[in-house]
């Protein structure tokens, strides 16, 4: 099994594998080009994002300072909005629904490393998908870790660290994030 196949399978993989590094360099280059463009260059910015992402709906609105690992594992719906300095580490698929907003400095991290030092010395990574529903608002400087699913109509409070699934129609805050109330979306 190749390192890329291991990564896609959710197994530990060698981070510095040539095939993975090549995909990452492509994504880094596109991110640099995107972030260097003036915000008035809407068409060029949109074209670059559509080259980068695995799939994207209509009405992308992404502020400068956007960075990702591979890009091809990012799938966003319609009316996706980010504020400044959003990072999506998409070594596994990151799937985001319609009308979802990410505040400034939000991090979606679909990758981690071994807890033991020996595994980190071997330059290993492990990736698990992140899934975010429709009509979600993730407040500034929040972090969502690998393997997490966030339901529809959720609000994640600023500065929260989401380590486990969050049910639909809820507000979650804290480190680790916990549901503090439900939202009546009727």
pLDDT tens, residue order, the chain (186 aa):
999 999 999 999 999 999 999 999 999 999 999 999 998 999 999 999 999 999 999 999 999 999 999 999 999 999 999 999 999 999 999 999 999 999 999 999 999 999 999 999 999 999 999 999 999 999 999 999 999 999 999 999 999 999 999 999 999 999 999 999 999 977
- Phi, psi dihedral angles at 54 (to 5 degrees): -65, -40
**CA–CA dist 77, 57 (Å, integer):** 4
Number of H helices, E strands in the chain: 4, 20
Question: Residue 137's beta-bridge partner residues?
Answer: 101, 155
Cβ atoms 14, 124 nearer than 8 A = yes
Sign of CA dihedral 150, 151, 152, 156: negative
In angstroms, rounded to a whole number, what is the distance separating the alpha carbons of residues 141 and 64? Answer: 15
pTM, 2 dp: 0.96
Q: With contact defined as beta carbons under 8 Å apart, do 138 and 153 qualify?
A: no
- Annotated catalytic residues are 113
Q: Cis omega (within 30 of 0) on the bond before 176?
A: yes
């Amino acid at each position: 099994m190749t390192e890329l196949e291991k990564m896609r399978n959710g197994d530990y993989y060698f981070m510095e594998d040539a095939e993975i590094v090549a995909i990452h360099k492509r994504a880094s280059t596109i991110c640099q080009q995107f972030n260097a463009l003036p915000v008035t260059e809407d068409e060029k910015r949109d074209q670059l994002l559509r080259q980068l992402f695995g799939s994207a709906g209509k009405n992308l609105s992404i502020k400068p300072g956007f960075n990702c690992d591979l890009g091809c594992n990012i799938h966003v719906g319609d009316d996706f909005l980010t504020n400044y300095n959003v990072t999506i580490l998409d070594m596994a698929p990151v799937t985001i629904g319609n009308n979802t907003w990410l505040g400034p400095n939000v991090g979606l991290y679909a990758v981690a490393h071994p807890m033991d030092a020996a595994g980190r010395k071997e330059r290993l990574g492990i990736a698990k998908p992140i899934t975010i529903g429709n009509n979600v608002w993730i407040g500034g400087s929040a972090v969502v870790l690998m393997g997490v699913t966030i339901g529809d109509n959720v609000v994640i409070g600023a500065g929260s660290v989401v380590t486990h699934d969050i049910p639909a129609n809820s507000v979650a805050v804290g480190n680790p994030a916990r549901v503090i109330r439900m939202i009546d979306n009727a």
